[in-house]
Structure 1
Amino acid sequence: MTAVVRLLRKTIFWLHLIAGCAAGVVILLMSLTGATLMYERQILEWVDGYQVTPAANASRLPLEELAAKATAANPKQALTALTVESDANAAVMLAFGREATQYANPFTGELLGEGAAKARNFFHFVTELHRWLALEGESRDTGKAITGAACLVFLFLVISGLYLWFPRRFTWHFIKRIVAFDRRLTGRARDWNWHNVFGFWACLPLLFIILTGLIMAYPWANNLLFTLTGNPPPPPRAQQARPQGGKPEPVALSGLNQAWDTAVAKVPTWQSITVRLPANAKAPAMIFISESHQGRPDLKSQLNVNLANGEIVTWETFSTYNLGKQLRFWARWVHTGEAGGIIGQTLAGLAALSAAVLVWTGFSMSWQRFRRRKGAVAK
């Protein structure tokens, strides 16, 4: 190894160590919260949903009637969305604003309850902790800046770690020490072995998780994705004001049945349909149609309908998007692993746990290194 290569390796090593110590706590928090969210969707479906048993020859209520019954039963909050599953035994999920959720019997319109609110609140808190350290108000931007910076540092750690991992000699003796666990080791040697093994096997999924996280965290990364695909970045989306409490603004429900029939005719193989009611009379109803319960953006469509006259405002399927927008839609589901179904979720969760091990072993080795240096100086 030449002097230049040794100097480069030493420089990257110290940058790797310092960056890991600086951002390690935030990376550890993001890793643990990410692992906690691994099976969020399945857990909430298990504890949150209601199963109904329809009577013989019973049929679902028309959407307008179901929405009217829900509004009458809960007049203090504005109904903002309904989610209907193709499973006849699944209850309809009703959203009242951004926070309140109720479930209804699709055959009678009877409200069944709010489901496992504590479980939803728990995952909501973990998600906010993961994204912006659960800070509120103006401090939220600070939290997003911290987690975004930690994500950038983590990208450097993974790339530099891969370089440092690269064996000096490609023999099985050297490779085995950094790709397989050695149960005989203890202390610092064990930490070094674990750091290399977990880093090697989790490297690829972590790169996907980090890169997609950067795309969602930074506008420049999002715009870069579109630029690299030769497509213009989309303009920033304006936040649509929705009622959050108090006396709700009346929303005309007339036209929902026709809009529903249009959506079902567009996608007969639907598995779930979410209808987001318009915030005002001029806005269209937004209908999100999914042909899969997994995180498959290529099996999702969006239909915007003017309820007043039944006119289709926009009809978008995955194939109508340009390459930049398609990759942007995939980014969210690749980040959580849901793009690969239960196997993808599991791999993403295990990668997050591996990242936590990398932080822990990195801290341990750094502490032992500094303590040993301090002892040597004292002598």
Structure 2
Amino acid sequence: MRITLRKLIFWPHLISGIIAGVVIAIMSITGVAIAFEHQLLDWADRDSRQVQVPAPDAARLPIDELLARVRAARPEAQPSGVTVYPEPTAAVLVSTGRSSGVYVNPYTGEVRDQGAQGWRKFFHVMEEWHRWLGAQGDNRAMGRAITGVCNAAFLFLAITGLYLWWPRKWTMKTVRPTLWFRGGLRGKARDFNWHNVIGFWSLPVLIVLTATGMVISYKWASDLVFTITGNTPPATQGPPSAAPVKVPPPLEGAKPLGLDALFTEARKQAPAWENISVRMGGGPRGNAPQGRGPQGQGPQALAFSIRETGAWPLFASTQVSLDPFTGQVLRRETFADNNLGRRLRTWMRFLHTGEALGWMGQLVAAIASLGSVLLVWTGFALSWRRFFPRRQARASASEEASTTTEQSEPTA
């Protein structure tokens, strides 16, 4: 039997698809499910996020007072961050965990739960299956390893699929059947047509989704982004975080400023701000003692993240670190200030979800993910017919004979 390059590529393509197909389908289905998570949750929270302004000149409660109201209303919850919005009718969001929080009326201090708890649980489950195949606890490492390998297999399938699709001769007759769906087809011909058409149109997006997934899954892939751009890779996996900012020793007896004063200083750094968030995990108002960092490590700067209206990229933000005792700006860093490796790594994080290009990018990513589910289905169907052709032939012959017999039987 003559071995050609096409056969050498086809069989690894086929075997990889069979082995990784189920996991690829799970990641694709869950990817579609969580494609518009943020928009749906924002829509579900629309009532909780809106407040009534008592009067045009109504005074807002201090943010420290709002945090005290949250602690009183939710003793089991520890505030970990605050997000404020410029609209007078917008509530203040107080984060109490990675994906949990409450809304607080800035005029009355009323604490409101986030809406659509059922939707939040649904998205949480979908994310667990997308990342770890639903594994819990110590089993998550195994689940993450499996999804990482299957994502790499999907990238291999996309690249080899392009070669297998590539026509030997570029003519309208050879290209047309693989560029659009053909009507009247059944069985193997239909599956082959669907597999090629969906693969062709989804290929550019799927390569981006799987390649960026590799960067998210593997530290060596993330480090490679920095290495090829001539930058030193960060020590930890994931999007790089800014180095800690040292705070000058405060004067004897100095006390931290109120959060309102610090937010006022942060607003000056970006007049056209869309929202401003502050992390409080290790600052004066987090779990640490007043004015001290974790385990008495000394004063910690408060890091503010500022999203600006009309910013580009859409996910860009300005990071401002303030001295909690004086309000002095200790560091100000925009997206453009980052080195090329860090900028590319951040782009890849948001290209993976499509958010880098807004809702249109999310829609394209969702459609491509849905197409990959059909690629798995048609790929399995074609593989079944390849490995079990005789059984299908006998079944078809049996059905044909049965139909002939029924048609020849006399009617009552």
TM-score normalized with structure 2 length? 0.82
The answer to whether structure 1 residue 278 and structure 2 residue 252 are counterparts is no
The answer to whether structure 1 residue 183 and structure 2 residue 178 are counterparts is no
Structure 1 residue 93, shift from structure 2 partner: 1.8
| Paired amino acid for 2:380 | F
- Give distance in 2, aligned partners of 1:10 and 1:114: 55
**What aligned pairs does 1:244-283 form with structure 2 within 5 A after superposition?**
254-279=257-282, 280=288, 281-282=292-293, 283=300
2:88 corresponds to = 88
How well do the aligned residues superpose, as a CA RMSD in angstroms? 2.4
2:8 corresponds to = 11
2:54 corresponds to = 55
SS in 1 for 2:82: strand
- Give distance in 1, aligned partners of 2:313 and 2:368: 21
Structure 1 residue 99, shift from structure 2 partner: 5.4
Structure 1 residue 26, shift from structure 2 partner: 0.5
- Give distance in 1, aligned partners of 2:183 and 2:210: 30
Between Structure 1 and Structure 2, how many residues are aligned? 362
2:172 corresponds to = 172
The answer to whether structure 1 residue 29 and structure 2 residue 26 are counterparts is yes
Structure 1 residue 79, shift from structure 2 partner: 1.2
The answer to whether structure 1 residue 362 and structure 2 residue 379 are counterparts is yes
1:159 corresponds to = 159
1:248 corresponds to = none
SS in 1 for 2:305: strand
CA contact (8 A) 1:254 1:307 kept: yes
Higher relative contact order (CA 8 A, sep 6+): 1
Structure 1 residue 59, shift from structure 2 partner: 4.4
**What aligned pairs does 1:303-342 form with structure 2 within 5 A after superposition?**
303-342=320-359
- Give distance in 2, aligned partners of 1:180 and 1:233: 44
**What aligned pairs does 1:215-230 form with structure 2 within 5 A after superposition?**
215-230=215-230
1:243 corresponds to = none
- Give distance in 1, aligned partners of 2:310 and 2:85: 10
2:209 corresponds to = 209
1:79-121 deviation per Cα after TM superposition (whole angstroms, max 9, x unaligned): 1112222333332222223454211112222112232222112
Structure 1 residue 38, shift from structure 2 partner: 1.2
1:347 corresponds to = 364
CA contact (8 A) 2:81 2:281 kept: no
1:76 corresponds to = 76
> Which is worse superposed, 349-358 or 102-111?
102-111
- Give distance in 1, aligned partners of 2:381 and 2:310: 41
- Give distance in 2, aligned partners of 1:164 and 1:263: 55
| Paired amino acid for 1:325 | R
> Which is worse superposed, 42-51 or 83-92?
83-92
Structure 1 residue 37, shift from structure 2 partner: 1.0
> Which is worse superposed, 132-141 or 113-122?
113-122
Q: Which has the larger radius of gyration?
A: 2
User: What percent identity do the matched residue pairs reach?
Assistant: 43
The answer to whether structure 1 residue 42 and structure 2 residue 26 are counterparts is no
